[in-house]
Amino acid sequence: MITVRGSISTVLPPERAFAFLSEFENTSTWDPGTPVVEKRSEGPAAVGHRYHAEAEFRGKRRPIEYEIEELRPGHIRLRGENKTLVAFDSMDVVPSTSIPGGSDVTYTAEFDLNGVLKIAQPVLRPAFDALRDPALNGMKGKLDSLAG
């Protein structure tokens, strides 16, 4: 399994930051590696809600179907799957230790490649790692802009 993790601090208060991030369809507004996310379920985010996403990886756009597995205040975990991988994305939002009234957000993405790609995981790890900083920078920029 390949794990990519990072954290950001934002001026946006924790409740507002989590409300935005838990609506997974907002991902396409901050993650350049996931330009399409469409909600497939009705109502506010809840366990079992489904999403269709298109992820860009190594120059190709690939569909991935997500479902919320865990959802509680400050924490969301989704499971995504397509023919080549199973992914787990989680976001944890807590009061910031460095920005009064702000939030610290930890984003973790875990990828388990299927079939012959499983053997290639060590070679592909740098390509997955390269997704981290653009996503974190986009998340911080978007959350900070919502505080305005």
Ordered domains of the chain (ranges, CATH): 2-146 (3.30.530.20)
Separation CA 15–CA 94 (nearest Å): 9
> Mean pLDDT, to the nearest integer, of 56-77?
92
pTM above threshold 0.85: yes
Q: What is the mean pLDDT of the chain?
A: 92
- Mind listing the pLDDT tens digit for each residue in 90-144? 999 999 999 999 999 999 999 888 876 677 677 778 888 888 899 999 999 999 9
Quote the pLDDT of residue 84.
Answer: 86
